[in-house]
Amino acid sequence: MSKEETQQTIGRLLQGPTDRDAIHVAVAPVYCFETIYPGQHIGFVDGNAERGIVSAKVPAERMIGIADPFLRSPIGSGGMFWMFLYPNTVTGLKHLWKHPAFDVDVAKAVADKKAASEAWLRNFCENSDGPSYDNLIKAALNGGAWADEEDSYYSISIEDGHFGVYGTDAHGEIPSEFWDHLEALTGFKVTERPEYFSCSC
């Protein structure tokens, strides 16, 4: 069996004797909208393909791959991971591939912009008296609201003109570029951008 023939049998039951082989699998970095389990079938949340936000709750006809099956634990909301695309759905399978759900040029530009925004936000969160980067992203991907599952008193609320952090200290200014990067990374935005953190602790 040739490598091309092997590739075509992925996702199907094998017929007859076969030998060991190696194949290519197309992968793409994505963010989960809600908790996703390794190997779970996923697709883009409606209107969020360019932002790379996926869910396991989309209709079956919109599922285009599975969550990294080699992970050992579920991926929480806002987590970034590899999506393994279904076999034989991409074209020109090289290190730069094409797929109907992706525009390669747009995807690369968006990925570069996201990487820069992620780096900026991580640095800001590490050096400010506000929420952690992980909790910030969870709140943004959930429409501006997030609560700790183990301690519901610790929560975040982001809305027009207000950025509230509850259950811990949070102080300081929020620069305008913070919101630019948060929107570029997650798609979340507010009309009236809060300029300061507020807390109830």
129 plus 97 within the same structural domain = no
Instruction: Note the pLDDT tens digit of each residue in 139-152.
Output: 998 888 888 877 66
> How many residues appear in the chain?
201
pLDDT surpasses 70 at 33: yes
Structural domain for 96, as ranges: 24-101
The shares of helix, strand and coil residues in the chain, as percent rounded to the nearest 5, are 25, 25, 50
Helix (H) or strand (E) holding 78: none
Question: Please, what's the b/e burial string for 154-163 (b: 16 or more CB within 10 A of its CB; e: otherwise)?
Answer: bbbbbeeeeb
**How many Cβ atoms from other residues are within 10 Å of residue 66's Cβ?**
19
91 plus 51 within the same structural domain = yes
Q: For residues 20 and 102, which has the higher predicted lDDT (pLDDT)?
A: 20
Are 183 and 158 spatial neighbours (Cβ–Cβ below 8 Å)? Answer: no
How many domains does the chain divide into? 2
Helix (H) or strand (E) holding 181: helix 176-186
pLDDT surpasses 70 at 13: yes
Instruction: Note the pLDDT tens digit of each residue in 61-108.
Output: 999 999 999 999 998 877 889 999 998 888 765 555 667 766 555 556
3-state DSSP assignment of residue 92: coil
Report the mean per-residue pLDDT for the chain: 84
- Mark out the alpha helices in 53-175 (DSSP H runs): 104-126, 133-141
Query: Does the predicted TM-score (pTM) go above 0.75?
Result: no
Least confident of 9-18, 63-72, 114-123, 166-175: 9-18
| Domain of residue 74, CATH code | 2.40.300
Beta bridge partners of 129: 171
Which residues, including other chains, have CB under 8 Å from residue 174's CB and lie 6 or more apart?
130, 163, 193, 194, 195, 196, 197
Q: What is the mean pLDDT of residues 31-49?
A: 88
Does residue 88 lie within any of the structural domains?
Answer: yes
